[in-house]
Amino acid sequence: VSISKKPYKGTRDFFPTQKRMQNYFFSKMSKAAESFGYEPYDGPMLEEVELYKAKSGEELINDQIYSFTDRGERFVAIRPEMTPTVARMVSQVHKEVSKPIRWYSIPNLYRYERPQKGRLREHWQFNCDIFGANDIFGELEILQIAINLFKSFGADHTMFEILLNDREIVDNVFKEVLKVDEETSYKLYKIIDRYKKVTPEAFDKTLNELNLDANCIKELKEYLKLNKTSDVIEYLKSKNLSDTSKRLENLSTHLNLLQLSDFIVYDPTIVRGLDYYTGLVFEIFDKNPDNRRALCGGGSYANLLKIFNEPELGGTGFGLGDVTLENFLVGHKLLPEFSTPKNDILITFQDDIATTQAMQVASELREQGLKVITTLDKTKINKVFNLAEKKGTQFVALIGSDEVTSKSIQIKNIKTKSQEQFKITDITKIQDYLKV
Regarding 248 and contact with ligand HAM (CB under 6 A), the answer is no
Regarding 285 and contact with ligand HAM (CB under 6 A), the answer is no
430: left (phi over 0), alpha (psi -120 to 50) or beta: alpha
8 A C-beta contact, residue 192 and residue 224 = yes
8 A C-beta contact, residue 213 and residue 225 = no
407: left (phi over 0), alpha (psi -120 to 50) or beta: left
Regarding 295 and contact with ligand HAM (CB under 6 A), the answer is yes
| Angle formed at CA 329 by CA 325 and CA 331, multiple of 5 degrees | 115
Among 83, 85, 245, 357, binds ligand HAM (CB under 6 A): 83
8 A C-beta contact, residue 67 and residue 4 = no
Regarding 361 and contact with ligand HAM (CB under 6 A), the answer is no
Among 105, 127, 357, 408, binds ligand HAM (CB under 6 A): 127
Among 65, 78, 120, 207, binds ligand HAM (CB under 6 A): 120
Regarding 111 and contact with ligand HAM (CB under 6 A), the answer is yes
Among 65, 76, 129, 335, binds ligand HAM (CB under 6 A): 129
With CA atoms as reference, report the closest residue to 108 among 74, 140, 85, 92: 85
Rank residues 38 and 349 by Cβ distance to ligand HAM and give the closer one: 38
**Packing angle, helices 200-208 and 182-193, rounded to 10:** 170
Regarding 321 and contact with ligand HAM (CB under 6 A), the answer is yes
Regarding 244 and contact with ligand HAM (CB under 6 A), the answer is no
Rank residues 219 and 275 by Cβ distance to ligand HAM and give the closer one: 275
Q: How far apart are CA 256 and CA 264, in angstroms?
A: 10
Rank residues 143 and 294 by Cβ distance to ligand HAM and give the closer one: 294
Among 20, 28, 119, 254, binds ligand HAM (CB under 6 A): 119
Residue nearest to ligand HAM according to CB distances in the complex? 321
Residue 7: cis peptide before it, omega within 30 degrees of 0: no
**Packing angle, helices 135-152 and 16-34, rounded to 10:** 140
Binding site for ligand HAM (CB under 6 A): 81-83, 111, 113, 119-120, 123, 125, 127, 129, 274, 294-299, 317-321, 323-324
